[in-house]
Structure 1
Amino acid sequence: MGIINSIVSFKDFVVSRQGEIINLTLQHIELTVFAVIIAIIVGIPLGILISRVKKLAGPVIGFANLIQAVPSLALLGFLIPLMGIGSAPAILMVFLYSLLPIIKNTYTGLMNINPDVIESSKGMGMTNKQVLNLVQLPLAFPVIMTGIRISAVTAVGLMTIAAFIGAGGLGYMVFSGVQTVDNNMILAGAIPACLLALLMDSIVEKIEKGVTPPGIRKADGTIKLSKRKKYKFNKTQKIIASSLVVILIAGGAYLYSKKSDTIIVGCYNSSEQIILGNMLATLIEKNTDIEVKTQLNLGGSGLAYTALKTGKIDMYPEYTGMSLVGIMKQAPINDPDKAYKVVSDYYVKNYGITWLKPFGFNDTYTLSVRQDTAKQYNLETISDLAKVGDKLTLGATLEFCNRADGYAGITKVYNLKFKSFSSIDGGLRYTAIGNKKVDAIDAFTTEGLLKSYKLKVLKDDKHFFPNYDCVPIVSSETLKKHPELKALINKLGGKITEKKMIDLNYKVDKLGEEPAKVAEDFLLENKLIK
């Protein structure tokens, strides 16, 4: 019965979000095809080159192997400061990962041709170019196509990471689902990605069969026989093929375009951020004639900050404590007004980024436990937790584990020592505590999942955690171009209490409402839009 209910629930989710799923799938296809085509254009000539110039084979294949050994997120980390966010670094990353199978298979296919066949060809008077085009490449073609098939299928999976840097694609669904512990959303991204990988493999296989010359042994070991009738594309198929090429070219131009009068609103990967990002975008869109685009669900505060600093986005919601400790690498400041002034002055002076009026809520760190754990050990405060910490396990985000106002600081201030702790990002830590894999987790005080999982929020009785007042921050250059934005966005100042933010997050995390709708409803309720 539970399986049937899950299937029905998933079907209803897909029906309700079919437009978004189709759009993300098309984005995924476009990004993947661009990356693989570029890899083919570069990889095959490189494979031919190193088959001719043997001393280059080691360095070229070694470099391609080295790229494969670098974790994809680490590679993105190197590319983001150089290229910013969006589709460009995602396409370059997948292109680099796709090179090795194509280069290696091209090289292997050419080098494994019987030397006698090549000598015979030259004996017939063929030039080196003719030998390559008429003999070597046709014989190596099945092996080369195998490399292309591997690259194409792998590229589909790798491209899900594109969502991490705001490039879109099906990874957006997967990351959002993980963040909100929504299995339907995860499946809505993962299943189309799997089907797309199978489709890519099938298409490349058909291309291989169609263009492999008769008499050549194919990758599956069979030999293609000649056919009397040569297949020709009809008029309709030619129109479809031409249309796809035009769409890819137009889409590529669109991916890199940004109109001068366009405002791009960003945010990083949490339900709260996505709600606030949509709120800013809708507020501007409904009250001005400015075109608004969004780059939501970026992979963390540092990435959103880099995007704003480099002009890839124009604004995003940020937290005073996050900037002070995470970006500026300064000690926490418990006075909220002083913290705001310090980060505001630093950002405007060094990077031309203006901090506007705070939204009105403090979303600071906290530690939380299940109700049964709180009852068993009589836990009300973090000091209470410190007395029994050596009996409990902690699951915390990577950011919490590596921040001065996170794990390192709180264990020192409270003399707190856990039995063990694990780094678990996003909504997965809620899944872990719900399944009793860990006993305590870090959280932000306004997260809707705290309410969903009915967790006990422990009081910070030593006032260790600094204020994390949430504030819209905007490029000063953008405010110069559109000075009306400052007064408009400041209308949100003080409008969102901690209780209200919890309710908004709960609607997304537990009730499954779309962040854009939750944001719009809030703006309508407060008469900020009509």
Structure 2
Amino acid sequence: MSGLMSYLSQQYEYVGELLMSHIRLSILSVAVAIAIGIPLGILIADKVKAQKPVLGLANVVQAVPSLAILGFLVPYMGIGSNTAVFMVVLYSLLPILKNTCAGLANINPDVIEAARGIGMTRRQVLFKVKIPMALPVIMAGIRISSVTAVGLMTIAAYIGAGGLGTLVISGIQTDNSSMILAGAIPACLLALLMDFVMARVERAVTPIALRLSASQLTPEREQHERRERKITLAAVSVLLCGAVVMMVGQYFAEKPDIRIGSKEGCESVIIGNMMADLIEAKTDLKVERKMSLGGTMIAFDALDQGEIDLYPEYTGTVYTAVLGQPANPGMTKEETYDAVAKGLKEDYGIDTLHNFGFNNTYVLAVSAETAEKYNLKTVSDLINVNGQLRLGCSPEFAVREDGLPGIEATYGVKFKSVHNFSGTLMYTAITSGEVDVITAFSTDGLLQKYDLVLLEDDRNFFPPYFMLPIVNENTLAKYPEIAEVLSCLDDFINDETMQSMNYRVVELGEDRAAVGRQFLLDNGLVTEEELAK
């Protein structure tokens, strides 16, 4: 707990900014879901034939994993808050829609008949009888959707939409429990607060006669209830106005000149922030940072669709995962760079700058005990224990051609089972005995901490994975100074230096942006005055 309090005391402004972003996105999502769900529920409430397909479709959407929905939406809608809000609205619709239908369908027919008997029109029956009587049930659906929206919005960080999920995801990637709690606890409290507010709103909008019996409804009690209703609705109105002001303010805020992104890996975020610091310090350009955008294809799609302007990527990853080329054992650093630069330029209109100097290639690692037990020194040695060892790897490695499929085809290796983990969790899995082999990277910071044996890639299967900036050609044409500014990092960072920076984050708990900034300062690439401007 002391670690959490220390983190909050140092990063309270950043946490507060993410909290306000989370609130804004959650309120917007619930408002849109209400605007769609209640009218649609009213429309189909009396139409049994229409209810089944509409509610069935909503049920199907609810059953699809949220990350799968995000992965489907990103190629069509891009990254950012709009996609996140759309996803949360899809999941929030069902409770509102179903409860609206249920509330209207369960009204006593005699009450409706009495309303018609005194001459009420169909519209009057709907707004003066049906909706008021169904409000408790409708509001219960809205309460469920509100809490659901707050929880689901945490995964919006995967696509650069911000929110408290940024802290949770970053904390998982860097094995920083304080950062995880700094995002999870406010998100939990926000969900409880949302439920409390919606409960008060439910009480305020429900007709007094439906909540109190005739014996309880004294003039004094009725006056108290009306006063309480006014206070509740006024408070909620103020909150909504505040949310609207935040949304409008963000819309009219000064637009950035360039947007720099990164993948979710530790060093990707370090380098991404390093590039942003350099450009802000050495130019007059306004930079927006969209870090931790998930895996390769989310980040690359964002660049291809213009959601971001540049981000750091690996040559080997582009060659196999983006350009779709098969892994070519023995391919040199220069050959890989030339193929990547040509392919990105011709197929996507993306320029490739010079690499930073370090080669973060894949390596297979085992514990010292496992290596000694099975006499493992090279990847080829795994053939002798085919079907006996469990592999831990990232979901991306499990399906990429320069990953598990290629390893199996090139070496003839077979594993007993494959378990997907993210970031530092692979190291936790191998030290706890849940897996026997993991995929690591040559610049992983945790290689300094754990006593792991790296198996030699004796058939040179893995291509070079030199990190470099890839940038939209239109952005580079408009701001050519970007290339000149970033050139100070050309071949400037070796494997050991990058591994050391990663170690400071994942083991010592330092902030990724701060680590990158300190590297620039220590090497005289920027000054404090330039960063502060």
TM-score greater than 0.5 by the shorter chain: yes
> Residue 513 of structure 1 corresponds to which residue in structure 2?
510
Q: How does 1:32-431 map to 2 (within 5 A)?
A: 32-217=26-211, 225=217, 227-229=222-224, 230-231=226-227, 244-253=239-248, 262-333=257-328, 334-431=331-428
Q: Is the 8 A contact 1:153 1:198 kept in 2?
A: yes
Q: Is the 8 A contact 2:201 2:232 kept in 1?
A: no
In 2, Cα distance between the equivalents of 1:408 and 1:57?
46
In 2, Cα distance between the equivalents of 1:45 and 1:95?
15
Q: Which amino acid aligns with 1:279?
A: M
In 2, Cα distance between the equivalents of 1:118 and 1:509?
64
In 2, Cα distance between the equivalents of 1:418 and 1:96?
39
CA RMSD of aligned residues (A): 2.3
Q: Is the 8 A contact 2:135 2:205 kept in 1?
A: no
Q: Which amino acid aligns with 1:15?
A: S
Q: Is the 8 A contact 1:101 1:147 kept in 2?
A: yes
Q: Is the 8 A contact 2:204 2:233 kept in 1?
A: no
The structure-2 alpha-carbon separation of the partners of 1:257 and 1:304, relative to structure 1 and needing over 3 Å to count, comes to: farther
In 1, Cα distance between the equivalents of 2:447 and 2:396?
18
Within the alignment, does 1:13 sit opposite 2:3 as a pair? no
For the residue of structure 2 that corresponds to 1:391, the secondary structure is: coil
How far the C-alpha of 1:217 sits from its partner, in A, is 4.5
Q: Is the 8 A contact 1:214 1:224 kept in 2?
A: no
How far the C-alpha of 1:18 sits from its partner, in A, is 2.4
Q: Describe the superposition over 1:224-251 as per-residue Cα deviations: whole angstroms up to 9, x where unpaired.
A: 855224316899995x766644442343
In 1, Cα distance between the equivalents of 2:346 and 2:414?
40
How far the C-alpha of 1:255 sits from its partner, in A, is 5.1
In 1, Cα distance between the equivalents of 2:487 and 2:345?
17
In 2, Cα distance between the equivalents of 1:467 and 1:489?
21
Once structures 1 and 2 are overlaid, which stretch shifts more, 354-363 or 330-339? 330-339
Q: Describe the superposition over 1:481-505 as per-residue Cα deviations: whole angstroms up to 9, x where unpaired.
A: 1111111112211011011110111
Q: Is the 8 A contact 1:10 1:184 kept in 2?
A: yes
How far the C-alpha of 1:136 sits from its partner, in A, is 0.8
Q: Is the 8 A contact 2:205 2:229 kept in 1?
A: no
In 2, Cα distance between the equivalents of 1:234 and 1:101?
27
Q: Which amino acid aligns with 2:15?
A: I
Q: Is the 8 A contact 2:204 2:232 kept in 1?
A: no
Once structures 1 and 2 are overlaid, which stretch shifts more, 247-256 or 507-516? 247-256
Q: Describe the superposition over 1:5-44 as per-residue Cα deviations: whole angstroms up to 9, x where unpaired.
A: xx32333233333222222111111111100011011111
For the residue of structure 1 that corresponds to 2:195, the secondary structure is: helix
For the residue of structure 1 that corresponds to 2:291, the secondary structure is: strand
Q: Is the 8 A contact 2:204 2:229 kept in 1?
A: no
Q: Describe the superposition over 1:130-178 as per-residue Cα deviations: whole angstroms up to 9, x where unpaired.
A: 1111111111110001100110111111111100100011111111111
When the two structures are superposed, what TM-score results if normalisation uses the length of structure 2?
0.93
For the residue of structure 2 that corresponds to 1:463, the secondary structure is: coil
Q: Which amino acid aligns with 1:426?
A: G
In 1, Cα distance between the equivalents of 2:369 and 2:163?
40
Q: Aligned to 1:495, which of 492, 495, 500?
A: 492
Q: Describe the superposition over 1:469-521 as per-residue Cα deviations: whole angstroms up to 9, x where unpaired.
A: 11111111111111111111122110110111101111111111111111111
Q: Which amino acid aligns with 2:302?
A: A
Q: Which amino acid aligns with 1:302?
A: M
How far the C-alpha of 1:462 sits from its partner, in A, is 1.7
Aligned residues: 521
In 2, Cα distance between the equivalents of 1:164 and 1:436?
29
Q: Describe the superposition over 1:21-79 as per-residue Cα deviations: whole angstroms up to 9, x where unpaired.
A: 22211111111110001101111111111114443222221221121122211211221
The structure-2 alpha-carbon separation of the partners of 1:403 and 1:280, relative to structure 1 and needing over 3 Å to count, comes to: same
Q: Identity over aligned residues, as a percent?
A: 47
Q: Which amino acid aligns with 1:323?
A: V
Q: Is the 8 A contact 1:138 1:216 kept in 2?
A: no
Q: Describe the superposition over 1:382-417 as per-residue Cα deviations: whole angstroms up to 9, x where unpaired.
A: 223332354321111111111112112212322322
> Residue 531 of structure 2 corresponds to which residue in structure 1?
none
In 1, Cα distance between the equivalents of 2:246 and 2:394?
36
For the residue of structure 1 that corresponds to 2:223, the secondary structure is: coil
For the residue of structure 1 that corresponds to 2:356, the secondary structure is: coil
In 2, Cα distance between the equivalents of 1:8 and 1:455?
31
The structure-2 alpha-carbon separation of the partners of 1:284 and 1:430, relative to structure 1 and needing over 3 Å to count, comes to: same
In 2, Cα distance between the equivalents of 1:224 and 1:435?
62
When the two structures are superposed, what TM-score results if normalisation uses the length of structure 1?
0.93
For the residue of structure 1 that corresponds to 2:351, the secondary structure is: strand
For the residue of structure 1 that corresponds to 2:103, the secondary structure is: helix
Once structures 1 and 2 are overlaid, which stretch shifts more, 266-275 or 125-134? 125-134
Once structures 1 and 2 are overlaid, which stretch shifts more, 112-121 or 458-467? 458-467
Structure 2 residues not aligned, in runs of 5+: 528-533
Once structures 1 and 2 are overlaid, which stretch shifts more, 59-68 or 376-385? 376-385
The structure-2 alpha-carbon separation of the partners of 1:144 and 1:241, relative to structure 1 and needing over 3 Å to count, comes to: closer
Q: Is the 8 A contact 2:62 2:91 kept in 1?
A: yes
Q: Is the 8 A contact 1:87 1:255 kept in 2?
A: no
In 1, Cα distance between the equivalents of 2:70 and 2:109?
43
How far the C-alpha of 1:373 sits from its partner, in A, is 2.2
Q: Describe the superposition over 1:75-127 as per-residue Cα deviations: whole angstroms up to 9, x where unpaired.
A: 11221122110100000000111001001100100000011100000101111
For the residue of structure 2 that corresponds to 1:289, the secondary structure is: coil
In 1, Cα distance between the equivalents of 2:54 and 2:506?
48
The structure-2 alpha-carbon separation of the partners of 1:237 and 1:19, relative to structure 1 and needing over 3 Å to count, comes to: farther
Within the alignment, does 1:441 sit opposite 2:435 as a pair? no
Once structures 1 and 2 are overlaid, which stretch shifts more, 326-335 or 513-522? 326-335
The structure-2 alpha-carbon separation of the partners of 1:342 and 1:156, relative to structure 1 and needing over 3 Å to count, comes to: same
In 2, Cα distance between the equivalents of 1:247 and 1:524?
40
> Residue 3 of structure 1 corresponds to which residue in structure 2?
none
Q: Which amino acid aligns with 2:106?
A: N
For the residue of structure 1 that corresponds to 2:518, the secondary structure is: helix
